Structure 1
Amino acid sequence: MEPVQGAAAPSRRGRVVMLVDNGVHGDSRVQKAARSVAEAGWEVILVGIRRGAATEDTWRIGDAEVRLISVSRRIPHPVAYRRALLRRPLAYRPGPDGRRKIQRLKAQRDDLDLRLSEIKVARREGTISQFSELSRKGVLAVPYFMNKARFQWVKFRNAELKRLQDRQQDPHSRIDNLALRFWQTTMGDRAWRRLDPELWDYELAFAPVLDELKPDLIHAHDFRMLGVGARATMRARAAGRDVKLVWDAHEFVPGIIGRPKNLRWLPAQIAYVREHAPYADAVMTVSPTLADLLRKMHDLPEQPSVVLNAPPRTLTPEQRALPVPDLRALCGIDAATPLLVYCGGINPSRGVDVMIRALTELPDAHVALVSLHPNGKVPTMIELEDLAAELGVADRVHLLPYVPHWQVPQFLAAADAGVIPIHHKPNHEIALITKFFEYAHARLPMVVSDVQTMADTTRATGQGEVFVADDLADYLRAVRMVLADPERYRKAYDQPGVLAGWTWEAQAQVMEDVYRRLLPGRPPAPSVPAPEPEKDPAPVS
């Protein structure tokens, strides 16, 4: 990524504004899409969200400009500020009031403790009589009693608020389920306005930026940006400009897990997507299975285009110039030590704990987890470290930081096998995830759990072994088979067309075809000599 050196000249092909609900860093699909579309001659402005103390608000990814904007919490959900007088009348209003009262009472108690200490010291030093000591302590007795009583009262009201909030998160809450069904029945897909009004925050932040940029095409990444793009498209058309909207669906919204647990959140997102999906002029997504689901769920007039999140086959000179770290050196092991690698985010549904537990039966093997975010460890990582220490294998578990997305295959190639141990969750079943392609371009034998799409592909190509998710014994079987004859699995990548179809260059052509269909009559993409493709990582024996 390069600092902005001034605005790029407007393209004769047209202006594309991409929208994403993150800070762009770490989102390889978005980065690759912006770079490729700009290389195809479109003027690309990628608008993302500034998170915390971001060091940069604008920069470039190739010829694409990146801009980060602030999305403030302008319309919080009523549960964030309203009291529920009928359910918990003594609970504090949501917010900091209860905590602030607790701290104020603690400060008052500390002040009383100081006065009591002064009395005790004076008595010990003989500067006051026993009568004076008892008298001054008596004066403090009432404030002490009042402080303690008020403390218990405030503590009780805080506990009432906590019980209320827990109940509001309970999917079995009758009151909240009745409210949910009421809004769904009376408002239909418009119910998200009541169920999750915080979705408006994205609209209020992005809308003025989009109106100012006047794009020819809006490329909305994932579901939150779909509504933002749909509304901007309609405003532009009302003003006489023919703007097209592309929805890039990264995941199946009804299958989302690990997000806010309150029972209103997911129905709100589903309704939000259903309301705005008809506004999309074209839909693209990450797998054929998800394309089928989206067409059926939203009654789309045509099958969404499939753009796999595959690694680039060719690198820019700037990307080539950045040294690739040595995976085995970072782990402190030699080339003969069996090394199993996992790359990507870690949470309980990713199943990474099976890799740690298996080390007790694989005495020579090491595990590399390329998962450490610049912001530090997530709780699940700490739990895995504790598990490794408990099992006595901590010296063979290596938590490593991420590398730039274009370096991942070459970085991982030094391992003996790539592991994808994810559990059975709706969105895990329907796509070939990013690390699957990264392992393939690293020519790694794979050990994958039996989630449907990846398991079917692995069996069909012969590039690895499939095990029953979260089954330690079956995982050990699969690992031992791969480590016993890795070349058998590496040969799968020599089959014609296997790796060639799993490249970002092939996916970028799909995007270009969608753009040209929506904006016909534009000049063709400039003819640029293709850089020399990266060589496949040498097989590791």
Structure 2
Amino acid sequence: MEPVPSTVARPTRGRVVMLVDNGVDGDSRVQKAARSAAEAGWEVILVGILKGPATEETWRIGDAEVRLIRVPRRIPHPVTYRRALLRRPLAYRPGPDGKRRMNKLRAWRDDLNFRLSEIKVAREAGGSRGAELAGKARLAAPYFVNRALFQWVKFRSQELSRLQDRQQDPDSTLDRLALKFWQTTKGDRAWRKLDPELWDFELAFAPVVDELEPDLIHAHDFRMLGVGARAALRARAGGRDVKLVWDAHEFVPGIIGRPKNLRWLPAQIAYVREHAPYADAVMTVSSTLADLLRETHGLAEQPAVVLNAPPGTLTAEQRALPVPDIRALCGIGPTTPLLVYCGGINPSRGVDIMIRGLTRMPDAHVALVSVHPNGKVPIMEELEELAAELGVADRVHLLPYVPHWQVSSFVSPADVGVIPIHHKPNHELALITKFFEYAHGRLPMVVSDVKTMAEATRATGQGEVFTAEDLDDYLRAVRAVLADPQRYRAAYDQPGVLDRWTWEAQARVMDEVYSRLLPGRPPLPPAEPATGPVDPADDLVAPRR
């Protein structure tokens, strides 16, 4: 890999390498952080994960360079390859062996069928009855053996499936004992045994980060914390004082884990606990989470709060891209009540309550701005089926994502912005992105009573709070907002409400963290504005393979 050239033509305050465990596209916080840091004079290289067939991609967000790399699966979890002779002695070894044997038997059976067809064709062409019977007799034993072996291989394959299901059973006594053993004997180092797949990130990112020689590493979320901590320590051991910023997007113990993997969440918690002490500074998404992180990890100072707020001003390239008309996409006029939800959908997001509510609001429509460029996810099809069963399918509109800087303008023609999330640990802790996007669209809100968001909504008066998963209370809140929308919109006229909820305000906090860690690097004068015609594609350049 050739050294990365400077991402900006003018001098920089230092090189910042941002790390993220996704493909960047679709992660608005990461995109905004990279762009803003570059605008503040830092040389920014954002390293993420490549999902396509190429080995590497590079593109740009403003003056920040994005580099996507492959993360091969090099150290699979033992459950994917280990045998358990005491549990299922007849099970195949995990891997392709059972499928390969099954396919060989199918090929043999097809060959026997071919030979049987030859015998039948020969008989129809005038061959003797005796020759036909003799030929079939020769095939009888192979047919019997093939069928018996097929049943044997099928049984052993099923034994492997049963074993793997048992190994993933959160109620398995043996696996609970194993989990307790590793936690007791290794402490926070137990993640190496509980989820060795975490090493895949280290093995892929480490050589890239080392080659870039950053002055500061900005690790987005928990998987990159370990990668960043190890890179910073390697650099310090080599005589370079590299600073590490951990950007905690969520509280790891509050993650809704993988219910069929008893080891996954304890592994992530241990991984974070081991590496958190190496962060020179921590930033996070809310003051509630900042308090929790400081208490949990014994941090010397309070994490800086960088909210997931939308930009208050747009670049020329962003302004040049037309904003779609949400009501036109829904096929409705300006007076039809429209409830909107933006973002990903899963059962804990509670979106089904919006569809159920339509059965008692015959004039209202629901827009779900949730369709990823890769297409619908299965739960969206389930919601469509629910809407059809309830007879409201013509009033439910699944719409594609728009660029993150357009969300507020896109949803502003709606009547209500809805956030119906359920009570889950991380849902209680943050003001989520759509909360601020609705606010900048000056939308009245209807939000569930998760702690931080409900408190903010009640404090500003910008919407109504309902009891999560309570359809009657949800309908009460929606009807209250629809009856007097201006009362709730007026909350945004209060001095400072929207000003403090802009990304520009958050970017200043982030720059203050960088500047404190790397003193003596004052902000540079703004770059000269570009001249010439504006091309919207220049803002988020298509990946170069």
Q: Over residues 263-291 of structure 1, what are the superposed CA-to-partner deviations in whole Å (9 max), with x where a residue is unaligned?
A: 11111110000000000000000011111
8 Å CA contact retained: 1:339, 1:415: yes
Q: Distance in 2 between matches of 1:371 and 1:55?
A: 29
Q: Which residue of 1 aligns with 2:116?
A: 116
Q: Which residue of 2 aligns with 1:190?
A: 189
Q: Which residue of 2 aligns with 1:490?
A: 489
Q: Distance in 2 between matches of 1:6 and 1:276?
A: 30
Q: Which residue of 2 aligns with 1:518?
A: 517
The AA in structure 2 aligned to 1:16 is V
Q: Which residue of 1 aligns with 2:537?
A: none
Q: Which residue of 2 aligns with 1:92?
A: 92
Q: Which residue of 2 aligns with 1:251?
A: 250
8 Å CA contact retained: 1:109, 1:144: yes
The AA in structure 2 aligned to 1:371 is S
8 Å CA contact retained: 2:56, 2:70: no
Q: Which residue of 2 aligns with 1:535?
A: none
Q: Is residue 2:107 matched to residue 1:107?
A: yes
Q: Which residue of 2 aligns with 1:476?
A: 475
Output aligned runs, 1:182-261, within 5 Å: 182-259=181-258, 261=260
Q: Which residue of 1 aligns with 2:538?
A: none
Q: Distance in 2 between matches of 1:287 and 1:389?
A: 39
Q: Which residue of 1 aligns with 2:46?
A: 46
Q: Which residue of 1 aligns with 2:23?
A: 23
Q: Is residue 2:295 matched to residue 1:296?
A: yes
8 Å CA contact retained: 1:12, 1:523: no
Q: Over residues 212-240 of structure 1, what are the superposed CA-to-partner deviations in whole Å (9 max), with x where a residue is unaligned?
A: 11111100000011011111111111111
The verdict on how the C-alpha distance between 1:389 and 1:263 changes in structure 2, with shifts beyond 3 A counting, is same
Q: Which residue of 1 aligns with 2:407?
A: 408
Shift of 1:135: 2.1
Q: Distance in 1 between matches of 2:485 and 2:445?
A: 9
8 Å CA contact retained: 1:423, 1:449: yes
Q: Distance in 1 between matches of 2:73 and 2:232?
A: 24
Shift of 1:473: 1.6
Output aligned runs, 1:451-462, within 5 Å: 451-462=450-461
Structure 2 residues not aligned, in runs of 5+: 531-545
Q: Which residue of 2 aligns with 1:64?
A: 64
Q: Over residues 296-318 of structure 1, what are the superposed CA-to-partner deviations in whole Å (9 max), with x where a residue is unaligned?
A: 11000001000000000000000
8 Å CA contact retained: 1:306, 1:510: yes
Q: Which residue of 2 aligns with 1:534?
A: none
The verdict on how the C-alpha distance between 1:108 and 1:347 changes in structure 2, with shifts beyond 3 A counting, is same
Deviates more, 1:55-64 or 1:506-515: 55-64
Q: Which residue of 1 aligns with 2:340?
A: 341
Shift of 1:121: 4.7
Q: Distance in 2 between matches of 1:182 and 1:55?
A: 39
Q: Normalising by structure 1, what TM-score? A: 0.94
Shift of 1:31: 0.3
The verdict on how the C-alpha distance between 1:416 and 1:53 changes in structure 2, with shifts beyond 3 A counting, is farther
Q: Distance in 2 between matches of 1:7 and 1:61?
A: 11
* Percent of matched pairs sharing the same residue: 80
Q: Distance in 1 between matches of 2:381 and 2:126?
A: 55
Q: Is residue 2:155 matched to residue 1:161?
A: no
Q: Distance in 1 between matches of 2:371 and 2:256?
A: 21
What SS does the corresponding residue of 1:496 show, helix, strand or coil? coil
Q: Distance in 2 between matches of 1:283 and 1:106?
A: 58
Q: Distance in 1 between matches of 2:483 and 2:72?
A: 54
Output aligned runs, 1:372-383, within 5 Å: 372-383=371-382
The AA in structure 2 aligned to 1:448 is V
Structure 1 residues not aligned, in runs of 5+: 532-541
8 Å CA contact retained: 2:119, 2:132: yes
Q: Normalising by structure 2, what TM-score? A: 0.93
Q: Is residue 2:364 matched to residue 1:326?
A: no
Aligned residues between the structures:
527
Q: Over residues 467-509 of structure 1, what are the superposed CA-to-partner deviations in whole Å (9 max), with x where a residue is unaligned?
A: 1111122111111111122111111111111111110000001
Q: Over residues 156-179 of structure 1, what are the superposed CA-to-partner deviations in whole Å (9 max), with x where a residue is unaligned?
A: 111111111111111111111111
Q: Distance in 2 between matches of 1:15 and 1:465?
A: 45
* RMSD over equivalenced CA pairs, Å: 1.9
Q: Which residue of 1 aligns with 2:539?
A: none
Q: Distance in 2 between matches of 1:227 and 1:25?
A: 23
What SS does the corresponding residue of 2:375 show, helix, strand or coil? coil
Shift of 1:389: 1.4
The verdict on how the C-alpha distance between 1:7 and 1:13 changes in structure 2, with shifts beyond 3 A counting, is closer
Shift of 1:42: 0.6
Q: Distance in 2 between matches of 1:359 and 1:391?
A: 9
Q: Which residue of 1 aligns with 2:543?
A: none
Deviates more, 1:520-529 or 1:495-504: 520-529
The AA in structure 1 aligned to 2:506 is Q
Q: Distance in 2 between matches of 1:203 and 1:34?
A: 21
Q: Which residue of 2 aligns with 1:13?
A: 13
What SS does the corresponding residue of 2:197 show, helix, strand or coil? helix
Q: Over residues 377-414 of structure 1, what are the superposed CA-to-partner deviations in whole Å (9 max), with x where a residue is unaligned?
A: 11111111111111121111111110100000001111
Q: Over residues 30-87 of structure 1, what are the superposed CA-to-partner deviations in whole Å (9 max), with x where a residue is unaligned?
A: 0000000000001111111111236971111111111111111111111111212222
Shift of 1:5: 10
Q: Distance in 2 between matches of 1:322 and 1:442?
A: 17
The verdict on how the C-alpha distance between 1:7 and 1:505 changes in structure 2, with shifts beyond 3 A counting, is closer
The verdict on how the C-alpha distance between 1:363 and 1:199 changes in structure 2, with shifts beyond 3 A counting, is same
Deviates more, 1:210-219 or 1:517-526: 517-526
Q: Which residue of 1 aligns with 2:269?
A: 270
8 Å CA contact retained: 1:10, 1:43: no
Shift of 1:13: 1.0
The AA in structure 1 aligned to 2:180 is R
Deviates more, 1:355-364 or 1:271-280: 355-364
Q: Which residue of 2 aligns with 1:389?
A: 388
Q: Distance in 1 between matches of 2:392 and 2:56?
A: 40
Q: Distance in 2 between matches of 1:195 and 1:446?
A: 42
The verdict on how the C-alpha distance between 1:97 and 1:343 changes in structure 2, with shifts beyond 3 A counting, is same
Q: Which residue of 1 aligns with 2:504?
A: 505
Q: Distance in 2 between matches of 1:127 and 1:387?
A: 62
What SS does the corresponding residue of 1:197 show, helix, strand or coil? coil
The AA in structure 2 aligned to 1:111 is D
Deviates more, 1:434-443 or 1:102-111: 102-111
Q: Which residue of 2 aligns with 1:74?
A: 74
Q: Distance in 2 between matches of 1:360 and 1:108?
A: 58
Shift of 1:136: 1.8
